[in-house]
Amino acid sequence: MTMAAKRVSLTQKQREAGAGAELLALCQSITEDGRISKEEILALRSWLKTNKDSDLPGVEFLANTVEKVIADRVVTRDELKELYLAIEKVLPSDVRKEATQRRRAVEAARQKSDRAKREAEKQREREKREHEREKRTAAKQEKELADRMRMFRKLQNRELQQAKSNRGLVVRLKVIAGEDSCDYCKAQNGRVYPVEQCSENWLPPWGQCTHELGCRCCVEMQLDDALYEGVPPANYGQGYEASRARAAREAAEARQAGILPIHEEPLYLRLKAYSIAWGKPV
């Protein structure tokens, strides 16, 4: 047969005077804010030691609970709750109800705070992963940009060598900036330089360019205008248009490969058009 649990709550008579009234006042003070502090535990322990010979059943019950909670000198959140529940059991039913409501309110607020902390931690982790992803993407884009600019430089150097090898035909280099070029590149747009004054270091891509996709400038190889004087349009129109078509195809292939096209009319194609006009091979 199961024995009934021993009553530990204060009776109406016990709460009216003596140790019972003191214990009631102390427990009400402890449960006033719905939580227990270290100082309150020590105060309760001290009172229980002083009144250990009291015939109040709640004294022994609370004393055993306090000693259990502080046995390892580390009081966890679960142990604090265990002690609070023990105090609730000692309180009379009318007072216990209020203490329980305050405890539950504190627990609800703590759970809400814990959820907010977990969400904040998850958000920090998401932001960290996003930051790492952006760093990897930026590093990849930077490498791709560097590769494009190296190829761009190589093609520009080849154009320059062609221009210098055809001295007398190509007399000028003109800088052409894109519509979306940076301010520095736009400032270079339209500048014309004699071929003999140019070197590899002169050519774009410019080191001062700040465009996120790299330098958008190219150079136009300009022929001596005197070469076309007196040439009937009928003699070079067809060949010139053919050279432009070929240039357009090569520009499309360059764009597909991720390389910025030098110009829609590369030097050797313009020379080819000139040679067709005059009937001379280049």
Residue 13: per-residue pLDDT: 87
Residue 52 counted as domain residue? yes
Domain that holds residue 229: 142-278
CA distance 246 to 201: 29
Residue 115 counted as domain residue? no
Residue 5: per-residue pLDDT: 64
Residue 116 counted as domain residue? no
192 φ, ψ (degrees, to nearest 5): -120, 135
| Residues 261 and 154 reside in one and the same domain | yes
Q: Which of 106, 133, 165 is the last residue of a domain?
A: 106
CA distance 30 to 24: 10
| Residues 33 and 157 reside in one and the same domain | no
| Residues 152 and 261 reside in one and the same domain | yes
Half-sphere exposure of residue 104, counting CA atoms within 13 Å on the CB side? 7
Residue 239: per-residue pLDDT: 45
The 3-state secondary structure of the chain, one letter per residue: CCCCCCCCCCCCCHHHCHHHHHHHHHHHHHCCCCCCCHHHHHHHHHHHHHCCCCCCHHHHHHHHHHHHHCCCCCCCHHHHHHHHHHHHHHCCHHHHHHHHHHHHHHHHHHHHHHHHHHHHHHHHHHHHHHHHHHHHHHHHHHHHHHHHHHHHHHHHHHHHHHHHHCECCEEEEEEECCCCCCHHHHHHCCCEEEHHHCCHHHCCCCCCCCCCCCCCCEEEEEECHHHHCCCCHHHHHHHHHHHHHHHHHHHHHHHHCCCCCCCCCCHHHHHHHHHHHHCCCC
Q: Which of 88, 106, 124 is the last residue of a domain?
A: 106
Most distant CA pair in the chain, distance: 130
| Residues 170 and 272 reside in one and the same domain | yes
| Residues 90 and 146 reside in one and the same domain | no
Low-confidence ranges of the chain (pLDDT < 70): 1-5, 153, 156, 163-164, 166-170, 200-202, 223-282
Residue 257: per-residue pLDDT: 61
Residue 224: per-residue pLDDT: 61
| Residues 19 and 68 reside in one and the same domain | yes
| Residues 98 and 157 reside in one and the same domain | no
Residue 109: per-residue pLDDT: 93
How far CA 47 is from CA of 26, 53, 115, 121, 198, in Å, comes to 9, 11, 37, 43, 97
| pLDDT tens column, 237-262 | 444 455 556 556 665 666 566 554 44
| Residues 85 and 183 reside in one and the same domain | no
CB count in 10 Å sphere of residue 268:
16
Residue 252 counted as domain residue? yes
Contacts 24+ apart (CB under 8 A), 168-173: 168/224, 169/223, 169/224, 169/227, 169/271, 169/274, 170/195, 170/221, 170/222, 170/223, 170/224, 170/267, 171/195, 171/222, 171/223, 171/224, 172/221, 172/222, 173/198, 173/219, 173/220, 173/221, 173/222
Residue 216 counted as domain residue? yes
| Residues 174 and 70 reside in one and the same domain | no
CA distance 162 to 49: 103
Q: How many domains does the chain have?
A: 2
Residue 44 counted as domain residue? yes
| pLDDT tens column, 186-242 | 888 888 877 777 776 667 777 788 887 777 777 777 766 555 454 444 444 444 455
CA distance 101 to 34: 8
Q: Which of 47, 82, 106 is the last residue of a domain?
A: 106
Residue 114 counted as domain residue? no
Residue 85 counted as domain residue? yes
What pTM does this model have? 0.49
